[in-house]
Copies of this chain bind each other. A is one copy, B any other.
Amino acid sequence: MTEVSRIGESEWDVWRSFYAMRRRLDHALEVQLQRDSGISRPDFEILIALFNAPDRRLRVRELISTIGWEKSRVSHQVTRMEKRGLVTKFECDSDRRGSWVELTSTGRKVILGAMREHSDTIKRYFFDALSPDELAVIGTASASIISAIEPTPCDASLALDNVEPAGSSTVAE
């Protein structure tokens, strides 16, 4: 038997457990957001970014660098959200190629509620389930995995928390 890998069964058990956890957690968060606030997780990320921005508005390119998506994904998502009245788009004076994306008052109400409820859900399913030690280990382990994947590429703007919101209720996915 050619040894397939040096990883043993107990390690694979950890992987499977980790894998299942991610799926269930994602699903639970998605369901809660949809049920309580009528939005998806992509919606939530866009809304949070806009909510934390000065004047509740961002250029599409700033949105891209803030949440780290591909530009066409942002474009599609913003288009869909505009149809539902969560955001509006309008032209940019200083750069006629560009456009602003701004939170509507509806969008503002939605994100305010969603932040509260979503934070509670994350608390319940994530923080409350873990001891302080486990939490600390997960923090360092996550950083290790990230740096294993990206051996220090450009390290560009991944600071999602650079703008201080009104109530410092930073969920900031």
Contact = CB atoms under 8 A, between A and B. Distances in A.
Contact of A11 (B127, B141, B158, B160): B127
- Looking at chain A's contact residues, the main secondary structure is helix
Given A124-B148, A148-B128, A142 B7 contact: no
Contacts of A12: 161, 170-172
- The number of chain A residues touching the other chain, given as a range, is 35 or more
A163 interface: no
Given A20-B158, A144-B130, A116 B4 contact: yes
Contacts of A147: 129
Given A28-B149, A119-B5, A167-B1, A14 B128 contact: no
A143 interface: yes
Contacts of A150: 24
A44 to B, nearest CB: 12
B125 A148 contact: yes
Total copies of this chain within the assembly: 2
A22 B24 contact: no
Interface string A112-142: 0001100110111111111001111111111
A14 B129 contact: no
A144 B129 contact: yes
A161 B137 CA distance: 28
A171 to B, nearest CB: 8
13 contacts: A4-B119, A16-B161, A17-B139, A17-B142, A17-B146, A18-B126, A18-B138, A20-B146, A21-B146, A124-B148, A129-B141, A129-B148, A130-B144
